[in-house]
Amino acid sequence: MKLFRTFLVLAGLMVLLTLSACGDNEDASGSSNESDSGVSAKIGVISYMSGPGAAYGEAITNGLKLAKKEINEKGEVNIELVIEDSAGKPDQALSSAQKLMNSENVTGIIGPTLSTEMEVVGPVANQNGVPILGTSTTAQGIPQIGEYVFRDSIPESQAIPASVEKAVKKYDAKTVAIMYGNDDVFTKSGYDSMKKAAEDLGLEVLTTQTFQKGQSDYKAQLTEIKDLNPDLILCSALYNEGAVIMKQARSIGIDVPFVGGNGFNSPQVIEIAGDAGNGLIVATPWFTGKDDKKVQDFVSTYKEEYGKEPDQFAAQAYDGLYIMAEALKKAGEADRDKLRDALAKTKDFSGVLGNISFDKEGDVVMDPIVLTIKDGKFQVFEE
């Protein structure tokens, strides 16, 4: 009898453990159970965590982790981040996305980091009905991939004309040289925007020079530009190449201002280029010196957590997770279709970047700020 009673106790414990385990499972639609404190959801992250552009991924994941901590503390939404490294490679980004959508069964995805990656991942997420939010993908055509694809990063087609126009007014520029990476969707898109901005402003393009990711020597391109003596150099590059280009330009005596694409919006540019970065002009939705309590609270908390100021990529990721959390709250449950519909209705979301809305295609609606590097730091560009 004693043995039988022991068996009953053990059997009861097994039933309780089984029920408890079942309560943590997610169903095939991407829905997860609601916690007592609100909607609970797994959000996948595809980020450039290793390789030459890892500073982008570090900033993005730092911003996401900080936002997640704050969101979960508020209790209305509980988010679990499932982070995958893409290493900046489209095939690895796709493998990560497939893992997140299938075996991890996430409700939504943030990332990937590069537009080249999103061009591969976006169509698959859209086909599978998984909402995906790019926080750093600025090439043309990203939201147009499909109705499940969104972004909160200002596209090059909005940012570059703003910076070129201000630079032209400041320096009374008539001629430009253009440089761009011709093996990347993002940098090629930046070139398209630079070329159009130059045409719209009636500028003469003296030469167009190309390069590849990972290139270390730009002397041939820069020597040709120096001989033509343009008023401005427009350059679409990721931060590694962009910083080295400016450094080499200054070393051979080129002293005209650079106008950079979105890839230059990283403190790494200052770190790598040093004094050669001074005078760079860029447009961005983010500025750490903005006189706004929400911005300064974020800067202060981020510095306390990570020991440095947040850059544009950290800020866009931070706001991105808050936008997704707000959409989950409105959806009422961790359901992929409901999350998509709620994201599409995002209007006048007040974030650290400013007021954010999505247009009918899922693209961000927001005004950029034009900055320059002066005395080794980003400052508002004064005409």
pTM, whole model, 2 decimals? Answer: 0.81
Q: What is the pLDDT of residues 144-181, one digit of tens each?
A: 999 999 999 999 899 999 999 999 999 999 999 999 99
| Residue-level pLDDT at 199 | 97
Strands of the sheet with 204-211, listed across from one edge: 204-211, 175-181, 232-236, 258-260, 281-284, 369-374, 377-380
State the burial class of residue 3 (Cβ atoms within 10 Å of its Cβ: 0-12, 13-18, 19+). exposed
Q: Greatest CA separation found in the chain? A: 99
| Residue-level pLDDT at 11 | 44
C-alpha 62, offset from chain centre: 12
| Residue-level pLDDT at 23 | 33
| Residue-level pLDDT at 15 | 38
| Residue-level pLDDT at 202 | 98
| Residue-level pLDDT at 108 | 98
Residue 286's H or E segment, with its range, is: none
| Residue-level pLDDT at 367 | 85
Q: What is the pLDDT of residues 369-378, one digit of tens each?
A: 999 999 999 9
Single out the residue of 11, 81, 12 nearest to residue 40, CA to CA. Answer: 81
| Residue-level pLDDT at 37 | 52
- Residues in the chain predicted with pLDDT less than 70, given as ranges, are 1-37
Residue 6's H or E segment, with its range, is: helix 2-22
Q: Are the CB atoms for 316 and 285 separated by under 8 Å?
A: yes
